[in-house]
């Protein structure tokens, strides 16, 4: 199993600022992902956070807007840069333990941009 801690859990941010979300896992995992859930919408994969190399971004998401760090196998950060109200979303971290096939999600970081 894997226990995921995301910080912050909620935040209200000013337009034009940036916010970094942290994802801490209680065990080493190779696969770690970041998702976005806009209000009333489903979840969309932003990127795969790769340890020791640049993240792999999905279509529609770019590194300048969503820089990701993955310094080790238990931690990652997602930064939402130059925020606008359209970035108001829940951002979720997800991991797959190296043994097993269950996908775990953090509780999410609920961001509101004003």
Partner 1 sequence: AQSVTQLGSHVSVSEGALVLLRCNYSSSVPPYLFWYVQYPNQGLQLLLKYTSAATLVKGINGFEAEFKKSETSFHLTKPSAHMSDAAEYFCAVSDVGHGALVFGKGTRLSVIA
Nearest distance in Å: CB 31, partner 1: 4
Nearest distance in Å: CB 6, partner 1: 9
Q: Which of 19, 23, 25, 33 binds partner 1 (CB under 8 A)?
A: 33
Structural contact between residues 52 and 45, judged by C-beta atoms closer than 8 angstroms: no
Question: If binding means CB under 8 A, how many residues of this protein chain bind partner 1?
Answer: 21
Binding marks (x or -) toward partner 1, 43..72, rule CB under 8 A? xxx--x------------------------
Residue 80, number of CB atoms within 10 A of its CB: 24
Instruction: Give the CA distances from residue 42 to residues 24, 48, 50, 83, in Å, rounded to whole numbers and listed in that order.
Output: 24, 18, 24, 20
């Amino acid at each position: 199993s894997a226990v995921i801690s995301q910080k912050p859990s909620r935040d209200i941010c000013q337009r034009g600022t940036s916010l970094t979300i942290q994802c801490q896992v209680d065990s080493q995992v190779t696969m770690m992902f970041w998702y976005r859930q806009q209000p009333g919408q489903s979840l969309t994969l932003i990127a795969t956070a790769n340890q020791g190399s640049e993240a792999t971004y999905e279509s529609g998401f770019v590194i300048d807007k969503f820089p990701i760090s993955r310094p080790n196998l238990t931690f990652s950060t997602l930064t939402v840069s130059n925020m606008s109200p359209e970035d108001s979303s829940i951002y979720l971290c997800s991991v797959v333990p190296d043994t097993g096939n269950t996908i775990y999600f953090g509780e999410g970081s609920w961001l509101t941009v004003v």
